[in-house]
Amino acid sequence: MPLEFKLNPSAQRKNTIDFLKAGLYKVSPLGYYGEFGGAFIPEMLYPNVEELAEKYLGIIQEEAFQKEFRELLRDYVGRPSPLYLAKRLSEKYKTNIYLKREDLNHTGAHKINNTIGQILLAKRLGKTRIIAETGAGQHGVATATVCALMDLPCVVYMGEVDMQRQAPNVARMRMLGAEVRAATSGSKTLKDATNEAIRDWINNPKDTHYIIGSVVGPHPYPDMVARFQSVISEEIRKQLQEKTGNELPDYMIACVGGGSNAAGSFYHFLNDDKVKLIGVEAAGDGVASGHTAATTAVGKPGIIHGSRTMLMQTEDGQIEEAHSISAGLDYPGVGPLHAHLFKTGRATYLNATDNEALQAALELTRLEGIIPALESAHALAKLKDIAFKPDEVIVVCLSGRGDKDMDTYIKKLEN
């Protein structure tokens, strides 16, 4: 006879609600978050994407995989990343601000959580060649790094414009043994680098795994990348419990390019309504300026890179070029999970202009002695716009460090 557990009615009710909610924000078997997601890919990509969709959950859930993944995150990446109470920043905003220090990870950003996961997966799929796209170069560096570690050849596509504004990362990738190929079409930024990586995959259907750098692309990428990045919120819960006696913050704030650090930051809080989830997109010169990357503010549902999501596009359905000072946020879409969180109102999406981000970067540097990545500075920039209470707990995901942005900082902050 099976054991019967008696739940008290309210707990049972809570479970049901949690289950329903879990269903709301989890990906469906066909790769949908509500009306967003799916896999809109040409037949040439079907065998690769289908193989991934069929196998990713099984592989990720294997004990041996988890052991290897967790060990590398601990000993190679340096996890758990600290949760730091930023005292002077908190004083300024009269509340309690914790920074999730993804900037202290090996290679300097959250991106490596995902590339470690995907390279282990690629190995198990028997792939012998790795490709990736990159915007800021952080994902490219993180991919080149795990390829060096696992001894796999690596090609990284990067927009020509981004190769110039993130030159240190181009040099790092090359030193790590990766081939960096310039994407010269369109706006010559992240969108175009992604196009080129997908075209490479079409032309190399057998031996190659494409390590996508954010929660974008056809199913199962958005879910797979979110799972690998979910270690961020898993740790935050534990760390907050230790530091404050409560595992839930009042606000969880993260920047959104494709949305992987935000997805990882939100993941384990999605079903906790108490936690306000805030994504910050790049407004560029301002949402009404025509030079922006604030997708949820100016976009409409459409299809980009194999996924139905919010998309900046013309009336005719041509994809518009994004504009942001930050190469990592310079993307005209967002991951389908974010489109769904936006549509359902579970998360709120704000945006910060280039100037706001620069000022926020300078502020963090002077108050806390931490130079943030330009991407992360967008999340910090919204602290001034939210009315926090003195007893509230705010967590900001500091997705990366600012080394790669020193050229921009020197140029822009001097004047």
Partner 1 sequence: MNRIEKLFQDKEQRILSIYFTAGFPELNDTIRILESLQHADTDMVEIGIPFSDSLADGPVIQEANMRALHNGMSLKLLFAQLRGFRDKINMPVILMGSLNPVMQFGIESFLRSCKDTGIDGVILPDLPVDEYEKNYRTLFESQDIYCIFLVTPETSNERLRKIDSLSGGFIYAVSSSSTTGKEKDMNKQEGYFQKLRQMDLKNPVLVGFGIKDKNTFDTACQYTNGAVIGTAFIKALQTGNNVEEHINSFIKGIKAR
Ligand X SMILES: Cc1ncc(COP(=O)(O)O)c(C=O)c1O
Q: Which residues bind ligand X (CB under 6 A)?
A: 109, 135-136, 138-139, 214, 255-262, 328-329, 373, 375-376, 399-400
Q: Residue 168, interface with partner 1 (CB under 8 A)?
A: no
Cα–Cα distance, 374 to 404 (Å, whole number): 9
Cα–Cα distance, 125 to 75 (Å, whole number): 24
Contact pick of 26, 94, 167, 205 for partner 1 (by CB under 8 A): 205
CB of 375 to partner 1, least distance (A): 23
Stretch 291-310: interaction string toward partner 1, x if CB under 8 A: ---------x-xxxxx----
The DSSP symbol for 253 reads: E
Q: Which is nearer to ligand X, 312 or 373 (CB)?
A: 373
**Binds 109: which of partner 1, ligand X, none (CB < 5-8 Å by kind):** ligand X
Cα–Cα distance, 90 to 251 (Å, whole number): 14
**Binds 391: which of partner 1, ligand X, none (CB < 5-8 Å by kind):** none
Three-class DSSP category at 387: coil
Region binding partner 1 by CB under 8 A among candidate stretches 69-77, 184-192, 266-274, 402-410: 184-192
Q: Residue 186, interface with partner 1 (CB under 8 A)?
A: yes
Q: Comparing C-alpha atoms, which of 288, 210, 204, 246 is closest to residue 393?
A: 246
Contact pick of 315, 369, 391, 410 for partner 1 (by CB under 8 A): 315
CB of 189 to ligand X, least distance (A): 11
**Is 28 assigned a catalytic role?**
no
**Binds 400: which of partner 1, ligand X, none (CB < 5-8 Å by kind):** ligand X
CB of 311 to partner 1, least distance (A): 8
Cα–Cα distance, 380 to 372 (Å, whole number): 9
**Is 411 assigned a catalytic role?**
no
Render 95-151 in DSSP notation, one character per residue: SEEEEEEGGGSGGGBTHHHHHHHHHHHHHHTT--EEEEEESSSHHHHHHHHHHHHHT
User: Are 391 and 93 in contact, with CB atoms under 8 Å apart?
Assistant: no
**Is 196 assigned a catalytic role?**
no
User: Are 338 and 347 in contact, with CB atoms under 8 Å apart?
Assistant: yes
CA end-to-end span of the chain, whole Å? 76
Cite the active site residues: 111, 133, 399
Interacting residues with partner 1 (CB under 8 A) = 38-44, 46-47, 185-186, 191, 195, 198-199, 202-203, 205-206, 300, 302-306, 311, 313, 315-319
